[in-house]
């Protein structure tokens, strides 16, 4: 396997979400946890097709991690936790997917960005608990605890495809093309004829990957420009699915779903198996360069490959009569990116800087852009307060047992990005009776005006 990067998530309010490209020695911050997970819940139908301790699903609107139940065991014993993007902290109207509830680690990262796009993991990637002695693979029956740090090792096989080619007809071949050859891995049991309203496709982009898990591959035909707001009253969703035959038999579907089956005479399962439903397909997209992107193209009776058209809403036969008059879709091609280490490094730097500048502007607007030494204190609190502890970015920094419980912070010692301050008041019985969360964003300049902001 070839490691691409690692994702570390601190399961606490204000916890840092970081990405490492050097094996975990250093992490670049890409987001924050807004609310931690406190339990696991029953998984969705396809979660039965993988073992615990791995990524069960990767999508622009959420990452699912299986934490209990063996592969092939019933859904009643399959349990998962989730990483959830900002827009899905509240379940949209008419949402058809898995609802995380208290099993969700809710983040401030937008849907279709960061770990929900170019730094997303792949199905089957290992998930570990970070301990003082190193990484420990999540075992069966893991229950998330506030303060846990989870690490996902994003990796792909060394022998990696260039493309997957699918003949969109009954009995059509599903071929995977590697640099050293071509293999037929499945057959089409039911071709796709249309598109449907699939969750978060409006956050994905036309011809981009919306979701991959052990029982589905969802391709978006909806544009990003429409805003992507699921449940907003304006339809922004559109796309089609590819599902393996055993899983598809348990899920109602129409013409917006292609069903693929094992080759004749094969006893193997496609559910939770490469290349379509395990380990190969990700979410990566570089709008400026298709060589760094997963892209889906189509071919019609005209005989040449073309980009997927923009299609929004539910139209079960639209792929049999494309609006431009080019005819029915006869073939589908999924192109794979190179995922080079150099591109990943450049993309991480670009994303981190864009994210930092956006937060700097927000801090200026909120009055939390600061310099020099600042003081933070616990607001007046009733009860038997014995002491107040100070944490910055989840790390213990100090303690005070004297009101008004004021702490000086030298902001010059912190990087120019958002930092979370948490104050905890503890009573004589050891109970935390009040928490206060504050933010600050260090600014190296002495004078803080709008002139200090980038682009001014």
Each residue's pLDDT tens digit, 162-172: 999 999 999 99
Domain termination residue (choose one: 156, 172, 197): 156
Does residue 320 share a domain with residue 201? yes
Does residue 297 share a domain with residue 183? yes
Q: What percent of the chain has pLDDT over 70?
A: 96
Does residue 318 share a domain with residue 246? yes
Q: Are 408 and 374 in contact (CB under 8 A)?
A: yes
The neighbouring-strand residues paired with 442 are 370
**Residue 1 contacts by C-beta under 8 Å, 6 or more apart in sequence?**
155, 156, 157, 158
Does residue 196 share a domain with residue 91? no
Does residue 329 share a domain with residue 194? yes
Q: Is the pLDDT of residue 451 over 50?
A: no
pTM for the whole structure: 0.90
Does residue 331 share a domain with residue 267? yes
Unique residue bearing structure tokens 């009253």: 233
Unique residue bearing structure tokens 């009733």: 382
Does residue 327 share a domain with residue 181? yes
Does residue 110 share a domain with residue 13? yes
Averaged pLDDT for residues 14-21:
94
Examine residue 201 and state whether it is found in any structural domain, yes or no. yes
Q: Are 319 and 192 in contact (CB under 8 A)?
A: yes
Domain that holds residue 44: 2-156
Unique residue bearing structure tokens 């057959």: 187
Examine residue 340 and state whether it is found in any structural domain, yes or no. no
d(CA 242, CA 410): 54
Q: Is the pLDDT of residue 327 over 50?
A: yes
Does residue 446 share a domain with residue 314? no
Cα–Cα distances in Å, from 9 out to 17, 38, 129, 210?
5, 14, 10, 22
Domain termination residue (choose one: 136, 156, 176): 156
- Residues 98-146: tens digit of each pLDDT: 999 999 999 999 999 999 999 999 999 999 999 999 999 998 899 999 9
- Residues 152-195: tens digit of each pLDDT: 999 999 999 999 999 999 999 999 999 999 999 999 999 999 99
Does residue 190 share a domain with residue 61? no
Does residue 175 share a domain with residue 144? no
Structurally, the chain folds into a number of domains equal to: 3
Examine residue 353 and state whether it is found in any structural domain, yes or no. no
Instruction: Name the band, by pLDDT with cuts 50, 70 and 90, for residue 444.
Output: low
């Amino acid at each position: 396997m070839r490691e691409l990067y690692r994702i570390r998530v601190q399961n606490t309010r204000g916890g840092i979400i970081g990405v490492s490209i050097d094996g975990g020695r250093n992490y670049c911050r890409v987001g924050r946890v807004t609310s931690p997970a406190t339990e696991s819940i029953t998984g969705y139908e396809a979660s039965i097709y993988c073992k615990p301790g791995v990524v069960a699903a990767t999508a622009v609107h959420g990452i699912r991690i299986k934490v209990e139940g063996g592969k092939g065991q019933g859904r009643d014993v399959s349990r998962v936790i989730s990483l959830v993007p900002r827009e899905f902290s509240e379940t949209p109207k008419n949402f058809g997917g898995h609802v995380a509830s208290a099993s969700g680690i809710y983040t401030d990262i937008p849907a279709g960005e960061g770990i929900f796009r170019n730094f997303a993991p792949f199905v089957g990637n290992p998930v570990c608990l970070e301990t003082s002695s190193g990484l420990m693979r999540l075992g069966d029956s893991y229950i998330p605890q506030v303060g846990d740090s989870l690490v996902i090792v994003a990796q792909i096989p060394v022998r990696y495809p260039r493309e997957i080619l699918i003949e969109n007809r009954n009995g059509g071949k599903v071929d995977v093309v590697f640099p050293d050859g071509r293999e037929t891995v499945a057959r089409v049991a039911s071709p796709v004829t249309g598109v449907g309203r699939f969750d978060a496709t409006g956050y994905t982009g036309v011809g981009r990957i919306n979701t991959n898990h052990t029982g589905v591959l969802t391709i978006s035909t909806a544009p990003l420009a429409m805003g992507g707001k699921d449940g907003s009253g304006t339809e922004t969703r559109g796309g089609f699915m590819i599902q393996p035959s055993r899983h598809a038999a348990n899920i109602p579907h129409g013409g917006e779903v292609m069903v693929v089956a094992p080759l004749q005479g094969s006893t193997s399962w496609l559910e939770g198996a490469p290349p379509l439903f395990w380990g190969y397909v990700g979410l990566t997209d570089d709008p400026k360069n298709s060589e760094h992107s997963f892209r889906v193209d189509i071919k019609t009776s005209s005989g040449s490959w073309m980009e997927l058209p923009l299609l929004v809403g539910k139209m079960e036969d639209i792929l049999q009569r494309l609006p431009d008059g080019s005819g029915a879709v006869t073939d589908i091609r999924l192109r794979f990116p190179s995922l080079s280490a150099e591109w990943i490094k450049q993309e991480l730097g670009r994303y981190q800087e864009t994210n930092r500048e956006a937060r700097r502007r927000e801090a200026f607007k909120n009055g939390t852009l600061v310099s020099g030494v600042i003081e933070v204190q616990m607001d007046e609190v009733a009860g038997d307060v014995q002491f107040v502890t100070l944490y910055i970015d989840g790390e213990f920094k100090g303690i005070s047992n004297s009101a008004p419980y004021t702490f000086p912070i030298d902001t010059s010692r912190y990087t120019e990005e958002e930092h979370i301050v948490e104050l905890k008041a503890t009573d004589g019985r050891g109970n935390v009776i009040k928490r206060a969360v504050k933010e600050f964003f260090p600014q190296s300049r002495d004078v803080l005006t709008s002139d200090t902001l980038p682009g001014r």
